[in-house]
């Protein structure tokens, strides 16, 4: 089976999007008065909680989501972020359909 470079790039981008979203969704969150879910990313970037290489991976996830236009920081509290509607929400490992 031959996979073109374009197909590989599409798959890599989709996987990166989904894994970065999962990274953020693992954070504690609060819901604002308008129903917006704000994720607290401080834990992801805390070097006392994670090995430094994991902190770098988490930072890359946050940067990726921002560059892809899938996440926005809170205007007053940059450690709080929200995932935008276009961020993928499908499971990484979906159950087979019957």
Claim: this prediction has a pTM higher than 0.85: no
- Euclidean distance between CA atoms 65 and 54, whole angstroms: 17
> Residue 1 — pLDDT band, cuts 50, 70, 90?
low
For the chain, percent of residues with pLDDT exceeding 70? 89
Q: What pLDDT was estimated at residue 2?
A: 67
Model confidence pLDDT, tens digit, residues 79-94:
999 999 888 876 555 4
Model confidence pLDDT, tens digit, residues 32-67:
899 999 999 999 999 999 999 999 999 999 999 999
- Euclidean distance between CA atoms 57 and 79, whole angstroms: 16
Structural tokens at position 39: 């994720």
Residue 98 confidence (pLDDT) above 50: no
């Amino acid at each position: 089976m031959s996979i073109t470079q374009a197909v590989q790039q599409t798959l890599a981008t989709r996987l990166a999007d989904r894994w970065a979203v999962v990274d953020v969704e693992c954070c504690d969150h609060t819901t604002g008065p308008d129903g917006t879910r704000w994720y607290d990313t401080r834990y992801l970037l805390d070097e006392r909680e994670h090995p430094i290489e994991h902190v770098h991976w988490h930072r890359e996830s946050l940067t990726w989501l921002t560059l892809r236009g899938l996440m926005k920081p809170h205007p007053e509290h940059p450690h709080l972020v929200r995932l935008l509607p276009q961020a993928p929400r499908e499971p990484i490992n979906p159950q087979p359909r019957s």
